[in-house]
Structure 1
Amino acid sequence: MKRSLEERLKEGTVIAGEGYLFELERRGYLQAGSFVPEVALDNPEALKQAYRDYMNAGSDVVLAFTYNAHREKMRIIGKEDLLEPLNKNAIRLAKEVAKEHPKEEALVAGNISNTNIFNPDDSESKDKVRTIFAEMVKWCKEEGVDFINGETFYYHEEALIALEEVTKQGLPAVITFGLMGENILRDGYTVEESCKILSEKGALVVGMNCFRGPDTMQPYLAAIRNNVDGYVGGLPIPYRTTEEHPTFFNLPDGGCSCHLPTETTFPTALDPLYHNRYELAEWAREAKDTGLNYIGLCCGASPAMLRAVAEAVDVETINSKYSPDMEKHFLFGTDKTLQEHNLKYRLKA
């Protein structure tokens, strides 16, 4: 039988693969800017392959790609009539792929996220946010997800509303924050204070995702771990954020000489700023040693990066058979059948 998220957390580290937003834009199936996952209706096979690639790279979770598929985003692109079909099809496709796992059926998570309309001083905005979450969680319940992933919140109260709506439907909740450059949530809470409250109010996992790379997220993850008794998750972006530029929204590229549409590398010129997979693996080991239970990567992550993270915490993935092995490489290998005349050039190539 398929174990629940809580059962898996009790037994060891859970790997959660995210990053569909950037990956599907990179593959040509999603528009940067609006970042609405119309791919669930327009190119369902492309979405299924992305799900499959991350699952095969080690993810225990197939996260239904409904990030930004909420009423406000659909209003902006003029397609509110497609809101429910998009949400439900994204979940159904995730369930199909989850069943393909050769060892144990993967978990399927519904997905809600920051709405960008929450205003702590506007009660009407709070009502709209609650309605957005309520309808999306209801569809998740109807489609039979295993839990809800609520992510990228930068207001404590918006995250709390999300948790309340998930709890009403009787589903487990993973709630993670995207911490902006102010290093504090925008309604005044520290991220560790907020996570402690949400955990005490019933969130199964609390933590952080997106916006920050490992270097600028890990100190906050450690603080959350020190303040929370329950399970803690961390899913950084794979970019080299710094203390001066803690998020990827304003991350500069000193070598870029061309004009950029937004005068920042975000979101379509971040390529030179990637961490390599070995650096991400080092972070994963540190995260596990810190006591994190739910580990993954977010926007920008490739399946190969996720596989390196999973293997770093001793998880053998479906596609570990394709992990790097340089033994037979013509320049760098050690296999006795390689050509000696090539090997002598390995340092000059």
Structure 2
Amino acid sequence: MKRSLEQRLKDGPVIVGEGYLFELERRGYLQAGSFVPEVALDNPDALKQTYRDFMNAGSDVVLAFTYNAHREKMRIIGKEELLEPLNRNAIRLAKEVAKEHPTEEALVAGNISNTNIFDPEDPASKDQVRSMFAEMVKWCKEEEVDFINGETFYYHEEAVIALEEILKHDLPAVITLGLMGENILRDGYTVEESCRILSEKGALVVGMNCFRGPDTMQPYLEKIRQNVEGYVGALPIPYRTTEENPTFFNLPDAGCSCELPLETTFPTALDPLYHNRYELAEWAKAAKEIGVNYIGLCCGASPAMLRAVAEAVGVETINSRYSPDMEKHFLFGEDETLKKHNLEYRVKA
């Protein structure tokens, strides 16, 4: 039988593949800038393959790609009439892929996210946000997801509204926060304070996702772990953020030889700033050691990166048979049948 999220967390760790937004833009099926997941309707096969690739790389969860598929984003691109079909189709495609798992059907998560219209000084914006979440959660419930992931909230109160709407439908909730460069949520809460409150209010998992790479997320994860009794989640971006530039929004690239269309490398010129998979694996080990239970990667992640993260915490993935093995490489292998004259050129290659 398919175990629930809570059962898997008890057996832990749970591996979660995110990052569809950047991955599908990289594959050519999503527009950078608006970042609306129209792919669920325009190119469903491309979305299914992306779901499949991350599941095969170790993800226990197929996260329905409805990030940014809320009424405000659909209004901006003038396609509000597609809001419900897009949400429902993204979930249905996720359910189809989840059933393909050869050993245990993957979990399917609904997804709601930051709206970018929340204003702590404007009660009307709070009502609008609640209405947006309510309709999306309702569709998730009707499509029978296993839990709902609410993510990338940089206002504590918006995260609370998301949690309240999820719990109204008696669904497990994962709530993760996006911490911007101020190092504090925009309504004044620290991430550890917000996570403690969210956990006490009933979220099954609380933690952080997006915006920050491992180096600038990990110190806050340690604080969250110290302040939260329940399960903790962490899904950093795979970029080399620093104390000076703690998020990917303002990461510089000193080696760039051309003028970029924006002032910074975000979002389409981040390529030279990746962590490699081995660095990400080391982070995953460190996250597990401090007690993070729900481990993954966010925007910019590739299936190969996620596989390295999963394997680092002891998970053998469906596609682990394709993990690197240099034994038979013509220059760097140790196989006795390799041509010796090639091996002499290792240093010179």
TM-score (normalizing by structure 1): 1.00
- Post-superposition shift, 1:155? 0.1
- Post-superposition shift, 1:212? 0.1
Name 2:35's counterpart in structure 1: 35
Work out the CA distance in 1 between the residues paired with 2:304 and 2:341: 32
Work out the CA distance in 2 between the residues paired with 1:94 and 1:311: 23
Work out the CA distance in 1 between the residues paired with 2:265 and 2:282: 25
- Post-superposition shift, 1:257? 2.3
* 1:264 counterpart = 2:250: no
Structure 1: runs of 5 or more not aligned: none
Name 2:193's counterpart in structure 1: 193
Name 1:173's counterpart in structure 2: 173
- Once the two structures are superposed, residues 311-332 of structure 1 have per-residue CA deviations (whole angstroms, 9 ceiling, x without a partner) of 0000000000000000000000
Please show how residues 41-190 of structure 1 align to structure 2 within 5 Å: 41-190=41-190
- Post-superposition shift, 1:260? 1.1
Q: Which runs of 4+ in 1 moved over 4 A?
A: none
- Once the two structures are superposed, residues 65-123 of structure 1 have per-residue CA deviations (whole angstroms, 9 ceiling, x without a partner) of 00000000000000000000000000000000000000000000000000000000000
Name 2:213's counterpart in structure 1: 213
Work out the CA distance in 2 between the residues paired with 1:305 and 1:43: 24
Name 2:243's counterpart in structure 1: 243
- Once the two structures are superposed, residues 145-191 of structure 1 have per-residue CA deviations (whole angstroms, 9 ceiling, x without a partner) of 00000000000000000000000011000000000000000000000
Work out the CA distance in 1 between the residues paired with 2:262 and 2:204: 38
- Post-superposition shift, 1:270? 0.1
- Post-superposition shift, 1:285? 0.1
**Letter in structure 2 aligned against 1:47:** L
Q: Secondary structure at the match of 2:126?
A: helix
Name 1:287's counterpart in structure 2: 287
What count of residue pairs does the alignment treat as equivalent? 349
TM-score (normalizing by structure 2): 1.00
Work out the CA distance in 1 between the residues paired with 2:258 and 2:200: 49
Work out the CA distance in 1 between the residues paired with 2:113 and 2:145: 16
Name 2:26's counterpart in structure 1: 26
Work out the CA distance in 1 between the residues paired with 2:120 and 2:263: 30
Structure 2: runs of 5 or more not aligned: none
- Post-superposition shift, 1:55? 0.1
Q: Secondary structure at the match of 1:315?
A: coil
- Once the two structures are superposed, residues 279-304 of structure 1 have per-residue CA deviations (whole angstroms, 9 ceiling, x without a partner) of 00000000000100000000000000
**Letter in structure 2 aligned against 1:321:** R
Q: Secondary structure at the match of 2:182?
A: coil
Work out the CA distance in 2 between the residues paired with 1:28 and 1:50: 12
Name 2:273's counterpart in structure 1: 273
Name 1:313's counterpart in structure 2: 313
- Post-superposition shift, 1:310? 0.1
CA RMSD of aligned residues (A): 0.3
